[in-house]
Every structure is written in C-alpha cells, then in structure tokens.
Amino acid sequence: MMGRERLEKNLADQMKEAQLKLGYEEETMRLYYPVASLNLLLGTDCEKAGEMKETLEKLFAEPESRLGKLEFAVRAGRIEISVPPEGARYVHEHMGDVAFLQEIVSLFSDPHGKSVEDVKQVFGKFGAYVCEQMPEGSDFDQVLYFEDPSVDEYYYCVKEEMGHLIYHRFLKEDYRMM
C-alpha cells in the first residue's frame, strides 16, 4: 500500500474508533501524529514537523482525498491533520466490517472489573491471536494482535490498574519503536 493510501486508511481507522467511542457527528475531526509515526506510514524520512507538514501538503495537493480536503498544521512538535465534516461522514457511511473494533470498544466502555482474559475472549471470537507479556517497566502489561493482520492490523497494548483496564492500539511499526 502506498504512503498516501496507508495514511488515509489510518486516518479512517482512527476516526472510526473515535466514532464508536463517542458517537458520530458530522464535524471536523483533528488527529495528531508524531513525525516518526508519519514517516513510518508514508515511507519518508522527515526530521522536523515543518518538513513533514510540507511533505503532506504536496502529497495531498491533488487529487482530493476521499476524506475531503485535509489540512495540516504543526502543534507542539506533532502534526495536526484536520479532516472536514464530509470525511467524518464518509467514514461513518463507508467503513467496512468493524465488528471486532465494535466489541473491543464496547468491552472498554466499562473497564471496571475487566481483565486481560476478557480481551482474549473478544480476540478469540475473531481468529488466532498472539498475547505477549510486555517488558518490565513498560507502560502496558500485555500486547495482543492477530496472527492474520487482515482481521485487524493493530497491536492492542493493555494494562490493568486500580481495578480497571485500559488499552491503546498501535500500528505494528509504532509498536516496534516503543
């Protein structure tokens, strides 16, 4: 998958996750990326946020994205990507099967009294998966991901703390950089 397509897919995936958590609104959505993550998605080697902003503006100059006219800004050393309301609508109406993501978001909507075993049950419904212990001192306890990334390409890092469960999902490359 080319860099532009991969970034568009990642934007749509992040937006769909937000819509499942917060509900759908036809409004501008702003997503924030570190330069290193965008380099991984795009196959670029920009060193500074300003350089990445220029790269993105050129890459998305023409044709317009299926998410609409994207806007880029530098905010605190990260890149803010603004997706217009028609992009939010496109994601809401055209995202493919997101049954796994729906179940994960539903599980974490009430994280109290949940455990990694509950997460494993959700993963198990959708295919073969891997669950690995995170290294000592990391921010998470376990990482789970599907053996077949076509089910879901993300790595889900989970942590049990103070009686509830939290998660964060990463692209494989971002996870490997942690």
Residue pLDDT, tens place only, 101-140: 999 999 998 878 889 999 999 999 999 999 999 988 899 9
Confidence of residue 95 (pLDDT cuts 50, 70, 90): confident
- Where do the domains of the chain lie? 3-94, 99-177
Judged by DSSP in three states, 148 sits in: coil
The answer to whether domain 3-94 has CATH 2.60.40 is no
Judged by DSSP in three states, 11 sits in: helix
CB 84 within 8 A of CB 69: yes
CB atoms within 10 A of CB 168: 14
- H or E segment and range at residue 59: helix 49-59
